[in-house]
Amino acid sequence: MLEKQESQFLRYGNHTITYKDLFVRTQNFESLLAIKNVALLINGEKHPDTVCAIAASFHHGIPYLVIPNEMSLEKIPGIDEFTHFYSASTVDTDIPDHLKVISNQESTSQSTINTNRKPEENDIFAWVLSSGTTGNPKKIPLKRRQIHAAMDASRINFSPQPGDFWLLDLPLSHMGGQNVIIRALMNGSGIHLKKGSLSEELNKFPDINYFSLVPTQLHRLVNQNALDSTRVKGILIGGGPFTDDLIINARKMGLPVCGSYGMTETCGQIAVQQLTDSETPPASVGKILSGNKVRITDDSGKILPANSSGNIQLSGTQVPDALDFPDSFTDDMWFKTGDFGYLDENGYLFIEARRSDMIVSGGLNIRPAEIENLLNKLGWIKESVVLAQDNAEWGQIASAVIVLEDGEKRNNLELEMISREYLNELLPSWKIPKFWSFTKHELPKNEMGKVLRNKILI
Residue 110 has pLDDT above 50, yes or no: no
Q: How far apart are alpha carbons 34 and 31 in whole angstroms?
A: 6
Are 396 and 327 in a shared domain?
no
pLDDT the model gives residue 103: 72
Stretch among 108-117, 225-234, 449-458 having the lowest mean pLDDT: 108-117
Q: How far apart are alpha carbons 427 and 430 in whole angstroms?
A: 8
Are 226 and 292 in a shared domain?
yes
**Residue 392: exposure state from Cβ atoms within 10 A (0-12, 13-18, ≥19):** exposed
Are 368 and 346 in a shared domain?
no
Residue range 214-266, pLDDT digits in tens:
888 898 899 999 999 999 999 999 987 788 989 999 999 999 999 999 999 99
pLDDT the model gives residue 1: 61
pLDDT the model gives residue 130: 80
Report residue 398: phi and psi, to 5°: -90, 135
Cα–Cα distances in angstroms (integers) from residue 133 to residues 191, 215, 353, 356, 450, in the given order: 29, 17, 14, 9, 8
Are 236 and 339 in a shared domain?
yes
**DSSP string spanning 127-190?**
EEEE-TTSS--EEEEEEHHHHHHHHHHHTTT----TT-EEEE-S-TTSHHHHHHHHHHHHHT-E
Q: What is the mean pLDDT of the chain?
A: 90
Instruction: Look at residue 329 and tell me if it is in a domain.
Output: yes
Of the candidates 396, 399, 429, 391, the residue with the CA atom closest to the CA atom of residue 416: 399
pLDDT the model gives residue 426: 94
Q: How far apart are alpha carbons 61 and 40 in whole angstroms?
A: 11
Q: Compute the average pLDDT of residues 62-84.
A: 91
Instruction: Look at residue 94 and tell me if it is in a domain.
Output: yes
pLDDT the model gives residue 133: 42
Q: Compute the average pLDDT of residues 11-33.
A: 89
256-275 as b/e, with b when 16 or more CB fall inside 10 Å? bbbbbbbbbbbbbbbbbbeb
Instruction: Look at residue 164 and tell me if it is in a domain.
Output: no
* Secondary structure of residue 287 in the 3-state scheme: strand
Instruction: Look at residue 273 and tell me if it is in a domain.
Output: yes
Are 373 and 295 in a shared domain?
no
**Cβ–Cβ < 8 Å for 42, 66:** yes
Are 317 and 398 in a shared domain?
no
Are 133 and 241 in a shared domain?
no
Residue range 424-452, pLDDT digits in tens:
999 999 999 999 999 999 999 877 777 88
Last residue of a domain, one of 296, 327, 355: 355
pLDDT the model gives residue 111: 39
Residue 353 has pLDDT above 80, yes or no: no
Are 227 and 309 in a shared domain?
yes
pLDDT the model gives residue 135: 55
Q: What is the CATH number of the domain that holds 114?
A: 3.40.50.12780
Cα–Cα distances in angstroms (integers) from residue 215 to residues 220, 314, 377, in the given order: 9, 24, 14
Q: What is the CATH number of the domain that holds 392?
A: 3.30.300.30
Residue 131 has pLDDT above 70, yes or no: no
Domain residue limits at 283: 219-355
pLDDT the model gives residue 2: 67
Are 302 and 387 in a shared domain?
no
Are 135 and 8 in a shared domain?
yes
pLDDT the model gives residue 445: 85
Residue 268 has pLDDT above 60, yes or no: yes
The total number of structural domains that make up the chain: 3
Residue 114 has pLDDT above 50, yes or no: no
**Cβ–Cβ < 8 Å for 377, 153:** no
Last residue of a domain, one of 355, 389, 415: 355
Confidence of residue 357 (pLDDT cuts 50, 70, 90): confident
Number of H helices, E strands in the chain: 9, 24
Stretch among 103-107, 266-270, 383-387 having the lowest mean pLDDT: 103-107
Residue 158 has pLDDT above 90, yes or no: yes
Confidence of residue 391 (pLDDT cuts 50, 70, 90): confident
Stretch among 288-302, 308-322, 382-396 having the lowest mean pLDDT: 382-396
Q: How far apart are alpha carbons 311 and 297 in whole angstroms?
A: 5
Last residue of a domain, one of 325, 355, 385: 355
Q: Compute the average pLDDT of residues 324-348.
A: 95
Are 340 and 380 in a shared domain?
no
Instruction: Look at residue 234 and tell me if it is in a domain.
Output: yes
Q: How far apart are alpha carbons 348 and 284 in whole angstroms?
A: 6
Confidence of residue 104 (pLDDT cuts 50, 70, 90): low
Confidence of residue 116 (pLDDT cuts 50, 70, 90): low
Instruction: Look at residue 194 and tell me if it is in a domain.
Output: no
Confidence of residue 92 (pLDDT cuts 50, 70, 90): low
* Secondary structure of residue 153 in the 3-state scheme: helix
Instruction: Look at residue 214 and tell me if it is in a domain.
Output: no
Are 351 and 387 in a shared domain?
no
Confidence of residue 64 (pLDDT cuts 50, 70, 90): very high
Residue 26 has pLDDT above 90, yes or no: no
Instruction: Look at residue 166 and tell me if it is in a domain.
Output: no
pLDDT the model gives residue 212: 96
